[in-house]
Amino acid sequence: MLMEEKFIEATVNRPEGDRAIDSTHLLFDLPSLIQQIKTEDAWQKNDRNAITIFKTSGMRIVLVAMHAHAEMQTHTTDGNLSVQVLEGMIQFKTPDASLVINKGQLVTLHGGIAHSVLASEESVFMLTIAQ
């Protein structure tokens, strides 16, 4: 089966050009992407910055950087998700649990469950959502 590659176009916030976000295979240099999102204006002006690195009909992967004490308010996602902390430490809360997730740890959550994220310190995590 031949699949069509999908690209995201350059924007004012990311002018470096188009990049693939869906293909039969993609290789990502996570340290370079972390450095990129931490040097963008959005990181300087806001409490967080993120970049979608893969997006297809069944899955989305987003690299998220948050300043210390930044919070993603309570929300839900239709799909199952995982959060893997690459740098720092976050607090991940659901109605039934409050978890501290450190660098190198991963948490999973079924879709439809309300959750919030608080960065205890400057943190970076990989968010994967499966639809």
Q: In whole angstroms, give the CA distance from residue 29 to residue 19.
A: 13
Degrees, nearest 5: CA angle 93-99-100: 120
Question: What pLDDT does residue 4 have?
Answer: 67
So what's the pLDDT on residue 14?
A: 58
DSSP 8-25: E---SS-TT--EEEESS-
Cα–Cα distance between 55 and 83 in angstroms, integer?
16
Q: Which regions of the chain are under pLDDT 50?
A: none
How many domains is the chain built from? 1
Please check whether residue 12 lies inside any domain of the structure. yes
The tokens describing 26, both together, are 């993609």
Minimal CA–CA distance to 60: which of 38, 44, 77? Answer: 77
Q: How many CA atoms lie within 13 A of 55 on its CB side?
A: 11
CATH of the domain at 20: 2.60.120.10
| Residue at 116 is within a domain | yes
What's the domain range around 38? 6-130
Q: In this structure, is residue 1 part of a structural domain? A: no
Going by their DSSP bridges, the two strands 123-130 and 59-66 should be labelled as antiparallel
Task: Tell me, yes or no, whether 76 lies in a domain.
Answer: yes
User: So what's the pLDDT on residue 65?
Assistant: 98
Tell me the per-residue pLDDT of 77-98, one tens digit each, with 9 for 90 and over. Answer: 999 999 999 999 999 999 999 9
pTM, whole model, 2 decimals?
A: 0.88
User: What's the pLDDT score for residue 125?
Assistant: 98
Query: Comparing C-alpha atoms, which of 23, 28, 130 is closest to residue 80?
Result: 130
Q: Name beta bridge partners: 64.
A: 50, 125
